[in-house]
Amino acid sequence: MLTEINFDGIIGPSHNYAGLSRGNIASASHAGDVSQPRAAALQGIEKMRHNLALGLPQGFFVPLDRPDAPWLAALGTTIEGAENHLRAQAWSASSMWAANAATVSPAPDSADGKCHLTVANLVTMPHRSHEWPGTLAQLRLAFAHPAFAVHAPVPAPFGDEGAANHMRLCSGHDGAGVEIFVYGVGGGRFPARQHLDASKAVARRHRLDPARTLFIRQSDTAIQGGAFHNDVVAVANEHVLFTHETAFEDRDAAHAEIRAAFPMVEIVEVPASAVSLPDAIKSYLFNAQLVSLPEGGMGLVLPTEAQETPTVWDWLEDMVAGNGPIRRLLPVDVRQSMANGGGPACLRLRVVADPATVDPRFVADEGKLDRIAAVIAAHWPEAIAPAGLASAALAADVRKARAALLDALDLAELD
Ligand code: SUG
């Protein structure tokens, strides 16, 4: 039985604020802050517990080996010798944002009946461009079953940022869907990270039906306003598309194309007159997990920041008081990730699969989350200040912390 499983990236022990992502307002405004890796990772674990308690299947990915010494070696330097910007890029714990790990096309959408995953190349941002080899190794392990086809990245220079720029409409997760790839066009002060050629390549490799595949341009207004991924301004689940008015370059044409491809769609649009684009981006209202609840209806798992933004919360309360498809508002505290521009939806990769085909080492239950939390509490650094990135001792501690987690999860082969 195919079902949606959310795989969250466990927040790594090297989590820090280096201001590495141009165009990501939270990352820029928290540059140089002292991070709290232990608290960050425990917030992520609580989010997983929250979603498990809703009755939703939950999986996870482990952090990558950071600081990435082989990457620095390829650049002819070392952790001690690297210039500050390269050192920070080597340390980044950015693989926590699993929505950027890969693009996933569920089996019913593909001509060969397999669930396809293409690992994202993330070439636009140097600190993310070296994630894919470690992520690919993990995807190949978690999804080794023949029900899956796991692909290497689309070649550079075609930027691909994975599921953050991909939405799927369907009448049930286990049925055939319409896949929507949202791309950006460069030229402004902030980069467009998802290239149309990359999206098209992914769709071809996943053997999608062209009649059920759309390529829609993200609006320049959204990108230049700080929506560096589509999932900062829109999210879809089953027949519902929840979106800001400014998400797409040509709103009317985009909505018409979506309705033509999937007539059952219900578009829940937030007008800019009710919630401005800056409020939408600050609150991360759309970086929510829009989930189908086992008791029926849909819930929005959103960051507590949405609750603290009056225009946003007022609009949401009015919405759930009405008769729409989204029935429950479910705030979670992921502040440490949010300060780097990663909300609840960034932290997870959705995979539609039969849970029996997934390597059980990547599947969460309460007991396993307890064990992971214990490793985090014992080994994750409490705080990392910018100067800490130059410390060989801290680098060694971070490596030991990850090794302890791999050991606890019986995943030493990822070492
Ligand atoms: O790529 N932040 C990430 C946030 C990714 C959010 N993901 C989704 N929207 N799906 C990024 O900009 C900041 C790292 C730093 O500045 O230290 C960072 O990489």
Is 317 annotated as catalytic?
no
Across 364-377, average pLDDT: 98
Across 376-383, average pLDDT: 98
Whole-number percent of the chain with pLDDT over 70: 100
Instruction: Report pLDDT for 290.
Output: 98
Instruction: Report pLDDT for 328.
Output: 97
Q: How many CB atoms lie within 10 A of CB 359?
A: 15
Measured CA to CA, the distance from residue 366 to residue 218 in angstroms comes to 38
pTM of the model: 0.97
The pLDDT-based confidence of 205 (bands split at 50, 70, 90) is very high
176 C-alpha vs ligand 1 centroid, how far in Å?
A: 31
Instruction: Report pLDDT for 362.
Output: 98
Ligand 1 within 6 A of CB of 161: no
Across 76-85, average pLDDT: 96
* Domain residue limits, the chain: 3-414
Instruction: Report pLDDT for 42.
Output: 98
Across 328-355, average pLDDT: 98
23 Cα nearest atom in ligand 1:
12
Q: Pairing relation of β-strands 326-332 and 298-303?
A: parallel
Secondary element (H or E) of residue 214: strand 213-217
Ligand 1 within 6 A of CB of 122: no
100 Cα nearest atom in ligand 1:
10
Which among 22, 2, 65 is positioned nearest to 226, based on CA atoms?
Answer: 22
Query: Which residue pairs, CB below 8 angstroms and at least 24 apart, start in 315-321?
Result: 315/270, 315/274, 315/275, 316/285, 319/268
Ligand 1 within 6 A of CB of 284: no
Catalytic one of 30, 179, 346, 379: 346
Q: Which of 34, 229, 232 to mutate to test the pocket of ligand 1 (most atoms within 8 A of CB)?
A: 229
The pLDDT-based confidence of 123 (bands split at 50, 70, 90) is very high
Is 346 annotated as catalytic?
yes
Instruction: Report pLDDT for 405.
Output: 98
The pLDDT-based confidence of 395 (bands split at 50, 70, 90) is very high
Ligand 1 within 6 A of CB of 72: no
88 Cα nearest atom in ligand 1:
17
Ligand 1 within 6 A of CB of 164: yes
Homologous superfamily of the 3-414 domain (CATH): Succinylarginine dihydrolase (3.75.10.20)
How does 256-278 read in b/e, with b if 16+ C-beta sit within 10 Å?
A: ebbeebbeebeeeebeeebbbbe
Which residue is associated with the tokens 């030493």? 412
DSSP-derived letter for residue 33 is P
Locate all alpha helices (DSSP H) within 266-391, ordered by sequence.
277-283, 304-307, 310-321, 335-338, 366-379
Residue 60 in tokens: 């996870």
Q: Mean pLDDT for the chain?
A: 97
